[in-house]
A and B are shown apart, each in its own frame.
Chain A
């Protein structure tokens, strides 16, 4: 047998394929499946969550409220917000929750509804407040989340996603992280709807407490002047774009015949900055 040297014409060991195309096909497949499961679970949670007893929720919330460092509930500032919340509770919405307000020293302009009636208010938000009605609207908005039990739904979905991802891909996998981000965007679509419902509850609460809805949109008007969300901001923001939100508030008030009257002053302590 004679050995004839030659170079093979084709490489049979490497499939001639576009790796980018494969990447997009696979990625969209996985995203479609996970988003599908996630949406189904979202619906399932809507059925389960209203049946979770309040006592169980309190118990569940205990550990992570205690683990949150630098929250304060006893300062005068926190107590003032607490009192305002209690007034709304008493005059308008007797919810089956015992609300506790925590103050967190942070420049973030936000408030968060955590399980068990625990509301965390960031000090950056309080510094922007100009009237009692404005603050009452924000607190009532957070209460609105408890009415719909949005806080539990969010926690439930996050938990389910982490479990699916860990089972499929193992903990801390880079593919898992990629999927988590795409789901974040889906989650935001969920919560945009929740925000609108909470806003509507807050308007009713404000009307029930003060007899008018003055000051309800003040906060968002302020924000819309300050923050330019940019091209991408719209997709990545949990709260519906401020202008749309203001329009919805005005519209809802008009339909329900809520008037706007003069505002009440805010206690001085609320705007006070933390001593540096």
Chain B
């Protein structure tokens, strides 16, 4: 009975806190995405620009770590039994990648564009065979190009 109370409490805390944090994060992401709308971050390697016009080119990067909440973990655990899209983790990955891209853009806020953008994803804080809540890390990097004005 006691264990059941603990689990239900954890799930409830996970749901309420996780949902609130996610909503707030999405509001912040959308706001900053609009701010950085004029800074293109693209995946092509080469751009056809006269070398003389390029003032500076440098690596820029941004990383973000987002944790799973207890509720999402339970839902994903149940999903593991039946199979199918793990919807509860989708927003997690989405947030981590967008946040990483935004931080990368923040590092290059004066640049004209960022080219050759790549995103890496990894889990951290997850020891095999041990009970621990996994975190997701997204890391975005690219080459910021600064053109003469």
Question: Do the beta carbons of A5 and B40 come within 8 Å of each other?
Answer: yes
Sample 14 A-B pairs with CB under 8 A, ordered by A number.
A3-B42, A5-B37, A5-B38, A7-B33, A19-B72, A20-B15, A22-B88, A23-B74, A26-B78, A29-B78, A29-B82, A174-B74, A178-B4, A181-B4
Is B81 part of the binding interface, using a Cβ–Cβ cutoff of 8 Å?
yes
Q: Inside 8 A of B55's CB, which chain A residues have their CB?
A: none
Complex contacts, A178 vs chain B, CB 8 Å: 4, 7, 74
Q: Cβ of A19 and Cβ of B82 under 8 Å apart?
A: no
B107 close to A (CB within 8 Å): no
What is the size, in residues, of chain A's interface with B at 8 Å between Cβ atoms?
27
A23→B90 contact, CB < 8 A: no
Is the CB of A67 closer than 8 A to any CB of chain B?
no
Q: Is the CB of A23 within 8 A of B77?
A: no
Contacts of B77 in A (CB 8 A): 169, 173-175
A237 to B7, CA, bound (A): 20
* Binary flags per residue of A6-39, CB closer than 8 Å to B gives 1, else 0: 1100010111010110110011011000000000
In the complex, whether A47 has a CB less than 8 A from a CB of chain B is: no
A3: nearest chain-B partner, CB-CB: B40
Contact of B81 (CB < 8 Å), options: A11, A13, A168: A168
A229 within 8 A of B: no
**Measured between alpha carbons, how far is A181 from B11 in the docked complex, in Å?**
15
Task: Identify the B interface with A (CB < 8 A).
Answer: 1, 3-4, 7, 15, 30, 33-34, 37-38, 40, 42, 71-75, 77-79, 81-82, 85, 87-88, 90-91, 93-94, 131
B40's nearest neighbour on chain A, judged by CB, is A3
Chain B residues, CB < 8 A from A226: none
Q: Which residues in A have their C-beta under 8 angstroms from that of B15?
A: 19-20
Which chain A residues lie closer than 8 Å to B72 at the CB level? 19
Docked CA distance A81–B108 (Å): 84
Whether A15 and B87, one on each chain, are in contact in the complex, defined by CB atoms closer than 8 angstroms, is yes
Residues of chain B contacted by A6 (CB below 8 angstroms) = 37
The interface residues of chain B lying within 8 Å CB-to-CB of A30 are: 78, 81
CA distance A22 to B7 in the complex (A): 18
- Bound form: Cα–Cα A160–B23 in Å: 43
- Name the residue on B nearest A5 (C-beta): B37
Q: Is the CB of A13 within 8 A of B93?
A: yes
Residue contact B75 to A22, C-beta cutoff 8 Å? yes
Q: Which of A27, A172, A178 has the largest count of B CB atoms less than 10 A from its CB?
A: A178
Shortest A187–chain B CB gap in Å is 13
B7-A13 in contact (CB<8A):
no
Q: Which of B40, B73, B75 contacts A26 (CB 8 A)?
A: B75
Question: For A7, A19, A173, which residue has the most chain B Cβ atoms within 10 angstroms?
Answer: A19
How far does the Cβ of B122 sit from chain A's closest Cβ, in whole Å?
18
Looking at B40, B71, B73, B75, the one whose CB has the most chain A CB atoms below 10 A away is B75
Check B87–A22 contact: CB distance below 8 A: yes
Give complex CA distance A175, B76 in Å.
10
Inter-subunit contact A19/B71 (CB<8 Å): yes
User: Please, how many angstroms separate the alpha-carbon atoms of A199 and B74 in the complex?
Assistant: 41
Contact A14 B91 (CB under 8 A): yes
**Which residue of the partner chain A has the closest CB to B87?**
A15
Question: Is A177's beta carbon under 8 Å from chain B?
Answer: yes
